[in-house]
Amino acid sequence: MIPLRRRNGLSVAWLWGVCVLMGCGTSAPSNPAPPLKSHQVGGAGAPANKASDLVTASAARADDWFEDATGATGIQFTHRNGREGDRCYMIESFGGGVAAFDFDRDGPVDLFFTGGGTIDKVSGAIGGLPSALYRNRGAARFQDVSQVSSFGEPPGYSQGCAVADFDGDGFLDLFVCCYGRSRLYHNLGDGTFRDVNPWAVLPESDWHTAAVFVDIDHDQLPDLIVARYADWTPATDVACVTRGVRDLCGPTSYEGTSCRVFRNCGDGQFEDWSTRFGLRGGVHGLAVVAADLNMDGWVDVYLASDVTSNQLYLGGPDLPFVESSVVSGVAVNEWGQAEGSMGVDVADFDGDGRPDIFVTNFEMEDNALYRNLDRGQFLHSSVAAGLSGVSRQRVGFGTAMTDFDGDGRPDLFVLNGNPIYAAAQSPFLQQSQLFRNLGGRFQDVTAQGGSFFREVHSGRGNAVADLDGDGALDLVVVLMNEPVRILKNRRPAANFIQVQLTAREGESAGIGSRVSVEFAGRHITRFVVRGTGFFSQADTALTFPVAADATAAYVRVEWPGRRRETFRVGARRLQPLIEGRGKLEDE
Amino acid sequence: MNELRARARWQPLLGVLCGLVITCVIGTGLWLMFSPTRDQLLEQGLRESRRDPVAAERTLRRVVRLSGGRDHQAKIALCRLMVRRNALTDAKAMFAKLDLSTCRPDLLLALGRDGLKTGFRTESLAALEETARRDSRESALACDLLLADYGEWGQRQKQLDAATRLTELQPENPRSWGARVEILTTMGLEIESVEAIRAARRHGLPAEALQSLQYTLVQQLVNLGDATTARKELAELISQEGASARARGLEVYLCRLEGDLDRALEIVTTIVDEAPDLPFPRFTRGVVLLDLRRFDEAARDLERVAAAQPLDAPARFKLSEAYRGLGRDKLATKYRQQASDIVNKQKQISALLKSREENPVDPATYQTLAAVHEELGDAQAAAVWRKWADRVAHGH
């Protein structure tokens, strides 16, 4: 009999055993946060600890990369999953997300958090909790505008969220994924949002986990791709007992399902184009990212799936998109096995100008780094990048492959936490991790991450944005049943430029564009990507380090499938780059 | 005269009567003095059971009768005799009336041992489980029997429970720790496996056993991604027994974990040079070469492994990756498909083994297992499962 390889791939035992030779409201938040409670562990870098080992309080150190600035920002919000109902419903596993976007177009990045919901202990009824919108008044000082912006009323049990200007009025709108009816909130431009419910075809009761806006039919309007996890309802809920403990079920308790694609008709309505898009079923969809991954000028979509193979849909001039994950090498792990994939980010980690993909995974699996080999081919490269083994005693959810230390190389943030309350190998509360990019290889710098990295939490959604305009990218993290945290980056580059693309020919955000700057003799390349992290949307502005004495720098923009332009951009400020206003490369 | 005559007529009768009474009284006294007690009868029955099962059964039934059906020692011994003469229906009926908690551990063990040989499995396992729970001389033996039986029937969790109990009963026995660690490893419970090895080390096991456990510890630490501790343990192993092939093999995977691919390649090449025909080191070298994006060399090694091992899915998948890196898409597709076919069959096998664990007496499971192995091209395994199907179909 041939033993089936375990989830983490080929075990050493197999090889060498045989080879013997050798909530919110302006004043009173409706989703009130309990007092901040830190769960500190003995030392960063130590294995994830059980909750009983925890002590409280954690102090900042001089060399910390991040400082927990939550208190100073004025943000007090907690996403809740309904655990108090003691039902162990499948939807409790995944927590909530955050969107970092400038909803009022006043410059600073604002924050939106999904609220989650409640589960009644007696009846098992699922209710929604209000989401929250925080307006950035500048310098990362936030004001809760949830009530005035019409987020006072809870949607369904909310989880992920996505942002785009779906109607082209210049203001970014919001999609909130729910168990129940997901919501599309139209930004009216006056600080308020309206639930527009354009879903002639959307079931009233469905479970949407994550979503991304992307123009699939090239009509310059963002369409919507919605990830789904399972055809789950309380009536189909499976009671799982692991090692004698009633706990949340794993993904294999439910059949995979198919995601959904909705075309933006342009008249405020969306229609179901799932079939035309070419969607395949059998996924437990948790993250969906849009970027030009094979650099052919067409935006592609990558879908992270829990336990079943991840999917890559390559875009082209016409529909359908072509599912190419297997032939591109981004479907499975280094041994050919599907993993429990959660969050995704895209960045050029090895400085070759090509977008690489990073995926967070379940315990006893490596987080997957897929190196872009060109020609639309990727190679699982976690081992070569020094990331093998470092995540096996943790479950990764949120992530960011972002240059946090201003050296031009994207570093890695992994937000950890187990979805299983008690019965898994690793604990529910875990340390998150930070890795410094040394030039295609990563070094674990969790110990220097800051107080947050010395604590244990059950992390889920995350977003990256420069909240205080200092050129250093900050982190917003959503935790399970704990207040959200704002981690201020303490490692700003000596000098920087920041750009926000506005496309004229394609969808306005310029998704799929490639932007590069020269720094320290290297080409630094960034990509305009939507849907990164977990259940979340990072700010789409791009930040580059530049020479300390530079007053300006040249930025090269490759608009997806269109022109290449060079812009001269002034240092130390956010500058919009409008398609057609730069110097064309062919000129 | 008449009165005298009548007295003379009754006198002999009275004498006989008195004699009878006296005899009865003496007889009863003697019987009370010399007849065996119930316990003695039980012991007699147990003794007889070795030489004369028929007499033993008679004696034990007598004990049961004398106790008004309350002597569970006699009943379990009787049950065992029924099992031995294959009267399983009677044995089951007798077993159902037993209160195992009051039975002597030696009798429980004896029933368990004999029962396992004759298709009286469920009841035998219950008897052995009861014995294992006790702190008796027989408990470890019961654990051994349980370990072997659950292992044979693929019931891993129960096998693990037996092994764990065995290490509690015999903490100085290296074999019990070895079994427990091996089961944990097979079950993919790395953390528990590491904890078990660390616990074993506290019990003064012989050096050889400790070394074997240390190899497993390094393997498990590598699986867990704990490179620092694995490196420390491996250094200790190498200092004790030198850089054996096994230690070097582990070091290759440790180097991969540490991201030191050049060193990994250097080490694995020494092993390949020593044993060029062994597939496993060559496979590992192919893996490392692939890490280094030396696709051509990786493909060469992996081709040899795939040719030598027709059922090796990882080798085929890695080979397809090497060909993908070389831009040879047709070959990449071919090997990827082969790997996928094997993996799908293995998944089927895995699911069947799980069903077997839940219901080990369903012949259909074994027949399907045989069929899937046949489809895989593994005739040997197919034959084994077919035998199992027969065995289960015949109640054994």
- The residue out of B303, B322, B339 marking a domain boundary is B339
Of B271, B325, B384, the CB nearest to A22: B271
Share of residues in chain A with pLDDT > 70 (%): 89
User: Cβ–Cβ of A384/B261 closer than 8 Å?
Assistant: yes
Cα separation, B319 vs B334, in Å, equals 10
- Is B69 a member of any domain? yes
3-state DSSP call for residue A18? Answer: helix
Q: Is residue B52 in a domain?
A: yes
Residue-wise pLDDT for B353-375, tens only, equals 999 988 888 999 999 999 999 99
Binned at pLDDT 50, 70 and 90, residue B271 comes out as very high
- Asked if B249 and A20 come within 8 Å (Cβ–Cβ), the reply is no
Across the interface, which of B186, B321, B373 has its CB nearest the CB of A329? B321
Interval B216-236 mean pLDDT: 96
Pick the last residue of a domain from B322, B339, B356: B339
Interface predicted TM-score (ipTM): 0.88
Find chain A residues with C-beta within 8 A of B222's C-beta. Answer: 12, 389
* Paired strand residues for A263: A271
CA torsion, points B107, B113, B115, B119, in degrees to nearest 10?
170
Contact A15 B222 (CB under 8 A): no
Confidence of residue A23 (pLDDT cuts 50, 70, 90): very low
Interface of B with A in 144-183 (CB under 8 A): none
Q: What is the pLDDT of residues A217-239, one digit of tens each?
A: 999 999 999 999 999 999 999 99
Number of domains in chain B: 2
- Decide if B276 is inside a domain: yes
List the CATH number of the domain containing B116.
1.25.40
**Residue at B101 is within a domain:** yes
User: Would you say residue A379 has pLDDT above 90?
Assistant: yes
Any idea what the CATH number is for the domain that residue B287 is in? 1.25.40.10
Q: Determine the Cα–Cα distance for residues A185 and A150; give it in Å rounded to an integer.
A: 9
CA distance A160 to A131: 11
> Within 13 A of B225's CA, how many CA atoms are on the CB side?
23
Which DSSP helix (H) or strand (E) runs through A15? helix A12-18
Average pLDDT over residues B263-268: 98
Q: How far is B44 from chain A (nearest CA, A)?
A: 45
- Helix (H), strand (E), coil (C) string for chain B: CHHHHHHHHHHHHHHHHHHHHHHHHHHHHHHHHHCCCHHHHHHHHHHHHHHCHHHHHHHHHHHHHHCCCCCHHHHHHHHHHHHHCCCHHHHHHHHHCCCHHHCCHHHHHHHHHHHHHCCCHHHHHHHHHHHHHCCCCCHHHHHHHHHHHHHHCCCHHHHHHHHHHHHHHCCCCHHHHHHHHHHHHHCCCHHHHHHHHHHHHHHCCCHHHHHHHHHHHHHHHHHHCCHHHHHHHHHHHHHHHCCCHHHHHHHHHHHHHHCCHHHHHHHHHHHHHHCCCCHHHHHHHHHHHHHCCCHHHHHHHHHHHHHHCCCCHHHHHHHHHHHHHCCCHHHHHHHHHHHHHHHHHHHHHHHHHHHHHHCCCCHHHHHHHHHHHHHHCCHHHHHHHHHHHHHHHCCC
Burial string for A531-564 (b: 16+ CB within 10 Å, else e) reads bbbbbbbbbbbbbbbbeeebeebebbbbbbbbee
Amino acid at the residue A426: S
Q: Which residues of A317-342 are buried (b: 16+ CB within 10 A; e: fewer)?
A: eebbbebbbbbbbbbbbbbbbbbbbb
CA-to-CA distance for A369 and A383, rounded, in angstroms? 9
> Is a pLDDT exceeding 80 seen at residue A40?
no
User: Which residue of B218, B221, B324, B349 is the best one to mutate when testing the A interface, meaning the one whose CB has the most A CBs within 10 A?
Assistant: B324
Among A8, A18, A329, the residue with its CB nearest the CB of B324 is A329
Q: What range does the domain containing B286 cover?
A: 252-263+270-339
The CA R_g of chain A, rounded to the nearest whole Å, is 22
Q: How many Å apart are CA A322 and CA A521, to the nearest integer?
A: 38
CA A272 vs. chain centroid, Å, equals: 24
Q: For residue A6, is pLDDT > 50?
A: no
In Å, how far is B69's CA from the nearest CA of chain A? 38
If we measure between CA atoms, which residue out of B337, B338, A349 comes closest to residue A368? A349
Q: Which B-chain residues 271-330 have CB contacts (< 8 A) with chain A? A: 271, 274-275, 278, 280-281, 283-284, 290-293, 311, 313-314, 317-318, 321, 324-325, 327, 329
Lowest mean pLDDT among B19-23, B104-108, B123-127, B286-290: B19-23
Residue A332 backbone phi and psi in degrees, to 5: -135, -175
- How would you class B142 by CB atoms within 10 Å of its CB: exposed for 0-12, middle for 13-18, buried for 19 or more? buried
Of chain A, the percentage scoring pLDDT greater than 90 comes to 82
Is B379 part of any domain?
no
The most distant pair of C-alpha atoms in chain A lies apart, rounded to whole Å, by 74
Supply φ then ψ for residue B273, to 5 degrees.
-65, -35
Whole-angstrom Cα distance, residue A474 to residue A492?
Answer: 10
From the list B216, B343, B373, the residue facing A336 with the nearest CB is B343
C-beta atoms of A329 and B349 within 8 A: no
pLDDT digits (tens, 9 = 90+) for B128-161: 999 999 999 999 999 999 999 999 999 999 999 9
* Domain end call among B134, B166, B196: B134
Of all residues in chain B, what percent carry a pLDDT higher than 70?
A: 98
Strands (E), A472-546: 474-479, 482-489, 496-502, 514-519, 522-527, 542-545
Asked if the model's pLDDT at residue A33 lies above 70, the reply is no
**What's the token pair of residue B352?**
């069947």
Whether the CB of B233 is below 8 Å from some CB of chain A: the reply is no
Name the residue among B224, B244, B291 with its Cβ closest to that of A383: B291
Backbone angles phi, psi at A95, to 5 degrees: 70, -155
**Cβ contacts of residue B319 below 8 Å, gap of 6+?**
B286, B299, B302, B303, B305, B306, B335
pLDDT for the residue A61: 87
User: Does the pLDDT of residue A412 top 70, yes or no?
Assistant: yes
- Within 13 Å and on the Cβ side, how many CA atoms surround A252? 6
- Selection from B144, B179, B224, B74 nearest residue A47 by Cα: B224
Classify residue B40: in a domain, yes or no: yes
In a domain, B206, yes or no: no
Q: Is residue B320 part of a domain?
A: yes
Cα(B156)–Cα(B154) distance, integer angstroms = 6
Of A159 and A17, which is predicted with more confidence? A159
A436 φ/ψ sector (left φ>0, alpha ψ -120 to 50, else beta): beta
Confidence of residue A11 (pLDDT cuts 50, 70, 90): very low
